[in-house]
Amino acid sequence: MVKVKEDVSSYNKRASSMMFHQAETVIPGGVTANIKHFSPYPIFMKEAKGSKLIDVDNMEYIDYSLCYGALITGHGHPQILEATMNHLKETGTMIFGTPHELEVEMANKLIELYPSIDQVRFANSGTEAVLLAIRLAVAHTNKPKIAKFEGHYHGGLNQMLVSVNPSEDQAGSLESPTPVIESSGIPEDEQENTIVLPFNDLAATEKLLRAHAHELAAVILEPIQGGFIPAEELFIHGLKKLTDELDIVLIFDEVKTGFRVDIGGAQRAYNINPDLTTLGKVLGGGLPVGAVGGRKDIMMQSAANAKGDVFAVGGDSAETTNVVFHSGTYNGHPLVLAAGMKTIRMLEEGYLLDILTSHTMHLRTRLEELYASYHIDMQTIGMGSIFNIVFTKKPVKNYRDMWQADTAFRKEIDMELLDLGIYLKPLNRYSMSISHTLEDIDKTVEAHEIALNRVLKRKYQQAK
Ligand code: PMP
């Protein structure tokens, strides 16, 4: 058993605290992405290498956030840095602002790896990719609504910020969840175009899909919810059959799972070809990216022709209604694609993904054994190189099952881990990289044991 040095959380990151207070005066909430905030204040980082982050107090952390999964090769992998720098030197520019060869090369690579993809469009984020996928589906089917699953996140679009994290009293019935808008500033009527479905419940999903089939353009889902709750085989194959039958576009949002669950995403693991796929994160090797790929007949809706585009020369946009608008100053950014292409090539070589997956399983098993030895109900859930730690033994198949987990306990452990040099935004999922070593895993398990002892000791003292 590990000796407990301290009995209270020593979350005391002086420089981060000071920077956060400065940041708060000029940046709302002190962060530029709300996900990066946590109490009492987030940690400011200044350097990173491989599996490690270094904060502004010079403390080193093993990083399990990896920019929310984007950095599958870890921080600043020499091969990625070299490929990116060389690309800059060779082309002599940050961006051409015109079509270029690497777009075609990357499109071909995605088509090779994802059998469902015939054609590809690039964007700058997962959110933008989802925006395009939805618009394509609406144009293709000529139907107005989108169905999404409760608890699934698809970026910040109005129509997708529905029932991502609803409270128990708002969420409505299990079989027919109430759409809950998750942000202020979104007009109430936005939810009218979003149908909310229960994940991993085929019978209830079928009922809702059949009832709304006439007005549903698409069903979008994270095939592995939050990157860690897998769709059940029967459910996801049943969903595919239903969407085919009802002429509803099936969109797999693989922003998290792409290249992580399998090089060909969750769809390859499940052997399902969705109609459209959204990608992001790993695809950019750490630089901002999004992509939509899928069936040619749907993707071609966005093909501009001389007349039918809002940017048609001469101000003649009379036929724009025939074309799905998709544009962006930075779309297909060459530097991003150079970093992404190198990342994919690395993953393809040398069984790196297999090693990464087996390292992830090793960490999961060690953590499960540790908590079991303390008789604490804990399970790890996930696939490939992503997983989460959930403090309940009950099966977790959907968003509502997560309500049973002891998140207060998890938060206490996570805060202690931050003090012990393990970085994860509290309560978030774990992502691994090829830079994480067996030594990192040993240290992580050790830190968990110390964190657990601190939390247990504190609870014991409070109970006295
Ligand atoms: N879809 C999924 C499944 C995601 O996980 C995310 C980001 N976490 C997004 C869309 C949005 O991507 P981005 O943050 O790049 O806009």
Ligand 1 probe mutation, 255, 257, 267, most atoms within 8 A of CB: 255
Cα of 328 to ligand 1 centre, how many Å?
A: 18
Q: Kindly give the distance from the C-alpha atom of residue 128 to the centroid of ligand 1, in angstroms, as a whole number.
A: 9
130 CB within 6 A, ligand 1? yes
Distance 126 CA to ligand 1 centre (A): 5
Question: What angle, 0 to 180 degrees and rounded to 10, lies between the N-to-C axes of helices 202-212 and 233-245?
Answer: 10
Give the per-residue pLDDT at 7. Answer: 45
Question: Catalytic: 153?
Answer: yes
CA-based radius of gyration for the chain: 23
Distance CA 145, CA 127 (A): 18
Q: Quick one: tokens of 280? A: 């992001």
Alpha-carbon span 71 to 21, nearest angstrom: 28
Length of the chain as a residue count: 464
Please state the rounded mean pLDDT for residues 325-329: 95
For the chain, first and last CA: distance in Å?
Answer: 22
Q: Is 253 a catalytic residue?
A: yes
Cis check: omega of the bond before 78, within 30 degrees of 0? no
Residue 154: CB within 6 Å of ligand 1? yes
pLDDT attached to residue 1: 43
3-state helix, strand, coil in the chain (%, to 5): 45, 15, 40
pLDDT attached to residue 191: 84
Q: Is the CB of 414 under 6 A from ligand 1?
A: no
**CA neighbor of 452 nearest in space, from 387, 361, 382, 372:** 372
Please give the pLDDT value at position 464: 80
Q: Characterise 278 by phi-psi region: left (phi > 0), alpha (psi -120 to 50), beta (else).
A: beta
**Given its phi and psi angles, is residue 351 left (phi above 0), alpha (psi -120 to 50 degrees) or beta?**
left
Query: 281 CA distance to ligand 1 centroid (A)?
Result: 8
| Interval 92-139: pLDDT, tens | 999 999 999 999 999 999 999 999 999 999 999 999 999 999 999 999
pLDDT value at 317 more than 60? no
- What distance in Å separates the CA atoms of residue 35 and residue 83, rounded to the nearest whole number? 30
pLDDT: is 314 or 85 the higher one?
A: 85
Rounded distance from Cα 99 to ligand 1 centre (Å):
25
Give CA angle at 266 (258, 178), nearest 5°.
Answer: 100
Catalytically annotated residue among 41, 61, 153, 423: 153
Which sign does the torsion angle of CA 72, 77, 81, 87 carry? negative
Share of the chain above pLDDT 90, in %: 90
Among 127, 160, 165, residue to substitute to test ligand 1 (most atoms within 8 Å of Cβ): 127
Q: Is the pLDDT of residue 63 over 80?
A: yes
* Bridge partner list, 162: 181
Residue 321: pLDDT band (50, 70, 90) is low
Cβ of 254 less than 6 Å from ligand 1: no
Q: Is 127 in the pocket of ligand 1 (CB under 6 A)?
A: yes
Q: At 190, is the pLDDT very low, low, confident or very high (cuts 50, 70, 90)?
A: confident
Domains of the chain with bracketed CATH: 14-73+351-463 (3.90.1150.10), 78-348 (3.40.640.10)
153 lines ligand 1 (CB under 6 A): yes
Task: Give the C-alpha separation, 236 to 215, whole Å.
Answer: 21
pTM of the model: 0.96
pLDDT digits (tens, 9 = 90+) for 5-40: 444 467 899 999 999 999 999 999 999 999 999 999
Are 459 and 8 in contact, with CB atoms under 8 Å apart?
no
* Whole-number pLDDT of residue 462: 87
- At 205-252, the pLDDT tens digits run 999 999 999 999 999 999 999 999 999 999 999 999 999 999 999 999
pLDDT interval class at 314 (50, 70, 90): low
Question: Is 463's pLDDT higher than 50?
Answer: yes
Residue 201 among the catalytic residues: no
Task: Write the burial class of residue 408 (CB in 10 Å: 0-12 exposed, 13-18 middle, 19+ buried).
Answer: exposed
Ligand 1 within 6 A of CB of 275: no
Find the mean pLDDT for residues 284-304: 96
Residue 320 has pLDDT above 90, yes or no: no
